[in-house]
A and B are shown apart, each in its own frame.
Chain A
Amino acid sequence: MNERERVRRRVGELAKAGLIDESGLPEGAQVLDPIPVADPASGNRHSWFVPVARGERLAGFAQLLPDLQLMRYSTFPSGKEGTSLPDLADWTDATRIRDRAEQIAKPGETVGEPVLTYDRDVSHLAWRVPATGPSGTSRDLFVAGDFAYPERPESDQPEIGGGPASA
Chain B
Amino acid sequence: MRIERTQARQLLGLELNALGVAGPPSLTGELEGARIGEEGTPVYDPNGEVLFYRFLVADGGEPGFADGAARAELGAPLLAVSTGMQWNESALVEEAMEVARSRGADFDETRFVAFSFPKVGIQFLRAGEEIVLLELGSWEPVPELRDSEDRPPLEPSNFERWSLLDELPEGRSEAARRNYESRIEGWEPALRDIDTTIVERAQLSAFDLRLQDSRELHYDDGDAGHHICFELHGQETSLWCVGASIQMLLAFYRYGYSQDRLAEALGLGTRQEPSGLAYARVEDVVAQIETLTSNALEAEMIQDPEFEFFRDEIDANRPLISFVPSHSRAIAGYIRYHFTDLGPRPFRGLLVYDPWPPSTGVITRWENWDTQIYQYGYRARVKIVP
Contact = CB atoms under 8 A, between A and B. Distances in A.
Given A121-B324, A123-B324, A165-B325, A76 B363 contact: yes
Given A10-B85, A122-B158, A165-B155, A147 B357 contact: yes
Given A166-B151, A166-B157, A66 B137 contact: yes
A146 B80 CA distance: 37
Interface residues of B, number: 67
Contacts of B293: none
B149 to A, nearest CB: 12
A82 interface: no
A49 interface: no
Given A121-B326, A166-B325, A67 B357 contact: no
Contacts of B328: 160-161
A155 B275 contact: yes
Interface of A: 3, 6, 9-10, 13-14, 16-22, 39, 41-42, 44-46, 60, 65-77, 86, 119-126, 142, 144-147, 149, 152, 155, 157-166
Given A69-B118, A76-B362, A123-B354, 11 more contacts: A10-B85, A14-B84, A66-B119, A75-B365, A145-B359, A145-B360, A146-B360, A149-B237, A161-B277, A161-B328, A163-B326
B27 A18 contact: yes
A160 B323 CA distance: 8
B156 to A, nearest CB: 9
Classify the interface of chain A: helix, strand, loop or mixed: loop
Contact of B30 (A10, A17, A20): A17
B120 interface: yes
Across the A-B interface, give the 6 residue pairs with the lowest CB-CB distance, nearest first.
Answer: A162-B276, A159-B276, A161-B276, A13-B84, A66-B137, A18-B24
A84 to B, nearest CB: 8
A164 B346 CA distance: 30
B8 interface: no
A34 B238 CA distance: 25
A146 B238 CA distance: 12
Nearest to B84: A13
A157 B279 contact: yes
B241 interface: yes
